[in-house]
Amino acid sequence: MSDLHWMTVGAAARAIATRELSPVDLTKALLDRIERLDPKLNAFIRVDGEAALQAARAAEAEVVSGRLRGPLHGVPVGIKDIIDVAGLPTTCHSKILEDNVAAADAVCVEKLRGAGAIVLGKLSTHEFAIGGPSFDLPWPPARNPWNTDHHPGGSSSGSGSGVAAGLFPMALGTDTGGSVRNPASCCGIVGLKPTYGLVSRRGVFPLSFTLDHIGPMTRTVGDNALMLEAIAGHDPLDPGSAAATRGHYASGLERSVRGLRVGFVRHFHETDTPADPEVTAGLEHVARTLEAEGAELHTIKLPTLGEFGAVNRVILQSEAWSIHAPWLSERPEDYGMLSRRRLMAGAFMSSGDYVLASRRRLEMIAEVEAALREVDVLLCASSMDPACRIDRPADVERTYPRQARTPFNVTGHPALAMMAGLSAGGLPVSVQFVGRYFDEATVFAVARAWERAAGTDKKHPAIV
Amino acid sequence: MDKETIELLARRAGLAKALAKFPDDVTASAKQAADVAEKIKRPADPRAEPWPPMRAGIGL
């Protein structure tokens, strides 16, 4: 079998189940690729190669004996390094937690292993999922495989870079202000922030209790649905966990979008934060394509991106401050400059700011809920620009806030970002689909309709 | 926020060490906080509740 590194999760799992592919061969092929390419990409903080091979051998023995653990049996996965993997350090890409060895797997990792996945190692992130890309941390920042002079988005930067580069077919990311969807947008892959509470946060280092989400990152929509099926579900020990039952996300993917009402939130990228013309053209192309597939297009108005962003920042920085205050007090020199500045901001927010943001949040939820009674799914921008160069802090500072992802951390609705096309410079541009609470199935169906029509799942960076 | 207020709030928050070692970072953080909170609309209804609402949990 050639090009094992571009195999989808679904294809690899099927080939392993029918004994056409050995999980050991697949794992070895990916470890070889990691050894060759990761020095350019820095997607990994730690490759756990020996443990991965051992797990692959066990998976192979299980297949031979007729036992399949689940739908991801024998398929490798990368884990963002703010998520616990038993026996490995959870560093959060920070000197603060360099020696913080996890005693147990996070619930999402435990579920992936239960479905048969093989953990390859821990992936780069922005420090504590907030400060980056930074060059003043113990590990270098991840880079974009479409052009390694550019950033891969963050904070789940190693997850996005590694999936796009074919180092692994799936990864776990986390998303508090867009950190799954930003790297998905920059690296041209599929990243989902599920409904708040659908995936347990237990065993994941918190950034902001009421905004944190854990989500799947893959090269195809179908793989994303498979991965979500594996990690979703109620956790009685996570106070934010929803009681809703897990859906069957992969089974309805190929359904037609004929008659589906798609609400295009144009003001996000037309007036709130005017997008790069290539991004605007990409969004229009997605909208026209869905219309040609039979979807009804409507224009939807929501609160402005500026206000969504402010509500997100006040809540995020207030909650993050409550976590980091002791370390910022005693060890401020052990943080990188970006995270130090962003995390200390919480010290200057008042209780009034936090409560005001939380009250406005509930009104914003009501406004998005009202829109989603008029339409079945929302279509809007994710990033307003292709990824800029990683070595130009002023460009990074300018382009990072130019996005439309934070609204759905504020409201908790499921939101998926994926490739809308490629810029003239050969970098991905992106689109975002947003659904009703716990209706990830419709989000996946619309995303799959776009993917099927545009062939975005066949586009890979030229990195070899 | 003026310099004195920033220093007062920073010390009250336990950031004396940061203030001594990274005064520019402390000032940048304070400015971020002041800028962002101003952009939020105040709910017109004084009864508007925050999210998440209080829910009686297992311990109550």
Interface of A with B in 351-370 (CB under 8 A): 353, 355-363, 365
Cβ atoms of A45 and A122 closer than 8 Å? yes
CB atoms A348 and B34 under 8 Å: yes
Spatial separation of the C-alpha atoms in residues A136 and A131, rounded to whole Å: 10
The helix or strand, by DSSP H or E, that contains position A464, with its residue range, turns out to be: none
The one-letter amino acid at B59: G
Contacts of B55 (CB under 8 A, 6+ apart): none
Query: What is residue A138's DSSP assignment?
Result: S
Spatial separation of the C-alpha atoms in residues A327 and A330, rounded to whole Å: 5
Cβ atoms of A263 and A369 closer than 8 Å? no
Spatial separation of the C-alpha atoms in residues A235 and A364, rounded to whole Å: 27
- At residue A97, φ and ψ (nearest 5 deg) are -120, 30
The secondary structure of A124-141 as a DSSP string is --SBTTTB-S-SSSSSPP
Q: What is the pLDDT at residue A464?
A: 67
B21, B28, B50: residue with CB nearest A355: B50
pLDDT over threshold 60, residue B59 = no
Q: Would you place residue B55 in the very low, low, confident or very high pLDDT band (cuts 50, 70, 90)?
A: confident
Q: What is the pLDDT at residue A244?
A: 78
Spatial separation of the C-alpha atoms in residues A293 and A289, rounded to whole Å: 6
Spatial separation of the C-alpha atoms in residues B26 and B19, rounded to whole Å: 6
3-state secondary structure of A160: helix
Instruction: Determine contact: B19 vs chain A, CB below 8 A.
Output: no
Q: Would you place residue B58 in the very low, low, confident or very high pLDDT band (cuts 50, 70, 90)?
A: low
Number of cross-chain residue pairs from A and B with Cβ atoms under 8 Å apart: 116
Q: Specify whether A155 is catalytic.
A: yes
Over residues A312-346, the pLDDT tens digits come to 999 999 999 999 999 999 999 999 999 999 999 99
Stretches in chain A below the pLDDT threshold 70: 1-2, 464
Contacts of A405 (CB under 8 A, 6+ apart): A175, A177, A178, A181, A182, A193, A382, A415, A417, A432
Cβ atoms of A112 and A231 closer than 8 Å? yes
Structure tokens at A231: 């990690």
A337, A345, A357: residue with CB nearest B32: A345
Spatial separation of the C-alpha atoms in residues A373 and A65, rounded to whole Å: 50
Interface of A with B in 193-232 (CB under 8 A): 210
Q: Which residues of A touch B52 (CB under 8 A)?
A: 210
CB atoms A340 and B10 under 8 Å: no
Model confidence, pTM = 0.97
Q: Specify whether A459 is catalytic.
A: no
Tokens 């989400």: give the residue.
A213
Q: What is the ipTM of this complex?
A: 0.94
Instruction: Determine contact: B54 vs chain A, CB below 8 A.
Output: no
Spatial separation of the C-alpha atoms in residues A209 and A101, rounded to whole Å: 22
The three-point CA angle A388-A211-A386 to 5° equals: 15
Q: What is the mean pLDDT of chain A?
A: 97
The helix or strand, by DSSP H or E, that contains position A37, with its residue range, turns out to be: helix A23-41
Q: What is the pLDDT at residue B60?
A: 44
3-state secondary structure of A51: helix
Instruction: Determine contact: A324 vs chain B, CB below 8 A.
Output: no
Spatial separation of the C-alpha atoms in residues A390 and A148, rounded to whole Å: 8
Over residues A429-461, the pLDDT tens digits come to 999 999 999 999 999 999 999 999 999 999 999
CB atoms B15 and A333 under 8 Å: no
Q: Which residues of A touch B50 (CB under 8 A)?
A: 355, 358-359, 361-362
CA dihedral A365, A367, A370, A374 (to 10 degrees): -120
Structure tokens at A322: 């409550």
Instruction: Determine contact: B48 vs chain A, CB below 8 A.
Output: yes
Q: Specify whether A339 is catalytic.
A: no
Q: Which of A202, A197, A55 is nearest to A114 (CA)?
A: A55
Spatial separation of the C-alpha atoms in residues A373 and A371, rounded to whole Å: 5
Closest approach of A282 to chain B, Cα-based (Å): 30
CB atoms A332 and B18 under 8 Å: yes
Over residues B8-54, the pLDDT tens digits come to 999 999 999 999 999 999 999 999 999 898 899 999 999 999 998 87
